[in-house]
Amino acid sequence: MIKLLAETPGDQDMIDKILRAFDQLRKRLEDKNRELEEYKKRHPATVGVKNGKTYDIAVPQDVKPDIMDHENPGKREPGSQEGHPGHFRIRKKPTESIRIHLDLKECPECHSPLRRKGSRSRIIEDIPVIKPDIIEYSMDRLYCTKCHRVYEPEIPDAFPNATLSLRAMITVAYFRIGMRISIENVSRMMKEVFGIHVSEGEIQNILSQLSNALGDEYTRLLDSIRESSYRHMDSTSWRIDGDNYNLWTFLTETEAIFHISRGNGHDVPMEVLGEHNGTDVHDRHSAFETLAKETGNNQQYCWSHIICDAKELEQFYGEEGSGIKRSIQSVYDEAKGFHGHGTMDDVENLYHRLVFLLDTDYENARSRKFVKNLLKRKKEWLFRFVIDPDVEATNNRAERALRPSVIYRKISGGSRSDRGADIYTKIFSVYYTSKLRGKSFITDTSSVIKRSAKPG
């Protein structure tokens, strides 16, 4: 830099002001460059955003290998990964055997004579042509001459005045809610696959009837979650008629409920769960922190979120972030080794080791803030899973439960009314519970309705 020489004291003051302004400008440029680098890492060159939605950008063939090597240096190989079982379709025993003969005496290419060389088997799975069963019930009607009431026998497989069976109606709900198919395509599928014509308006009515019939089951699931020794909870955004709402999930290993509300504060889980005990597993969202103060329940912070935040520090701040991530990962790996049978002394030792590894000076303010916020958490809530075998170390169960609803929201845009939102939460709660229990939604839900709802 050229050194400026002042001839008078006034000139020196002006030079000092210019140098200070230049130094401030240089610092602002350095901050902008740092923000730009973080932005580039958060928004790769192969991803674009339009109307709030991300999409992949086609990369020219000549530059794609270089970008892919840079963006995905550790891309995993296809197929089952190490430590995970493979998934494949189970071959079933044939229900029919067909013998096919080849009436060919010479080679079509060179006309040489052909000789028999054994045979081979090939198994295929076919779908028979589906035709609906049209069932007509002839029912006795008994009339009371005194109170003028008519009595008829109950039909257990249909709702009152319904033209479709219970199984057919649940199949419609399975396509719409479980498979996230649009109402128009559900109508088309019922006609082309099953030969049953169902209008779009009738589909809405079917979903409404099923929602009413599953109200008692929804309440039973909620009571089970309230009484459980632990529960996972999380929320995501939702839309009702274009307005912003929130979709919540509360679940255990075998039950799940979903709830849509306007707010995203602690008052929502307080209203839904009411008086409940046990351990709440969550992602450190501020609403859950306030919920803990209100209920006094034990908590378990999600270690997947903690490690992901540390990975982000590693991505942006190099070795400083890598050191934080390695320290957290090592303590977490040690904590998992107790398999829920540790003691409070083990929790104390784990927490002291975490403090020993992380409590140091960091150059970046974001690293300091992350470590400070982590270490001020209650140690018994960081390591509840160490002393309680029922509690999981992560909130992945709730994250997975919300994922289908996020896809549904992107396809349908959410719900059109409060009634539509209520229908979705009740049916999807029963659907996802059936999935958790490893049961068939169509078969199991029919039994649930027959036990609780009044048949036709």
Average pLDDT, the chain: 87
Q: Judge whether residue 455 has pLDDT over 50.
A: no
* pLDDT at position 402: 96
**Alpha-carbon distances of 77 from 58, 81, 88, rounded to whole Å:** 22, 8, 17
Flag whether pLDDT at 15 surpasses 60.
yes
Per the confidence metrics, is the pTM higher than 0.85?
Answer: no
The answer, yes or no, to whether residue 97 has pLDDT greater than 80, is yes
pLDDT at 129 over 70: yes
Binned at pLDDT 50, 70 and 90, residue 105 comes out as: confident
Q: Give the per-residue pLDDT at 50.
A: 52
Write down the number of H helices and E strands in the chain.
16, 9
Structure confidence at residue 288 (pLDDT):
87
Comparing 397 with 20, the larger pLDDT belongs to: 397
| pLDDT confidence bin for 435, thresholds 50/70/90 | very high
pLDDT digits (tens, 9 = 90+) for 140-184: 999 999 999 999 888 888 998 889 999 999 999 999 999 999 999
pLDDT computed for residue 393 by the predictor: 95
For Cα atoms 55, 60, 62, give the angle at the middle one, nearest 5 degrees: 145
Q: Do residues 314 and 324 touch, judged by C-beta distance below 8 A?
A: yes
| Model confidence band, residue 434 (pLDDT cutoffs 50, 70, 90) | very high
pLDDT of residue 9: 65
pLDDT in tens, 39-90: 776 666 665 555 455 555 555 555 444 444 445 555 677 777 777 787 777 8
Average pLDDT over residues 237-254: 95
What are the distances in angstroms from CA 282 to CA 140, 361, 394, 397? 56, 29, 8, 10
The 10s digit of each residue's pLDDT in 322-353 is 999 999 999 999 999 999 999 999 999 999 99
Contact between residue 250 and residue 274 where contact means Cβ atoms under 8 Å apart: no
Instruction: Please give the pLDDT value at position 229.
Output: 94
Annotated domain spans of the chain? 303-387
pLDDT digits over 346-397, tens only? 999 999 999 999 988 888 889 999 999 999 999 999 999 999 999 999 999 9
Q: Answer whether residue 136 shows pLDDT above 50.
A: yes
Averaged over 210-238, what is the pLDDT? 95
Which CA distances in Å does 368 have to 24, 207, 301, 358? 24, 51, 20, 10
Phi-psi region of 225 (alpha: psi -120 to 50; beta: other; left: phi over 0): alpha
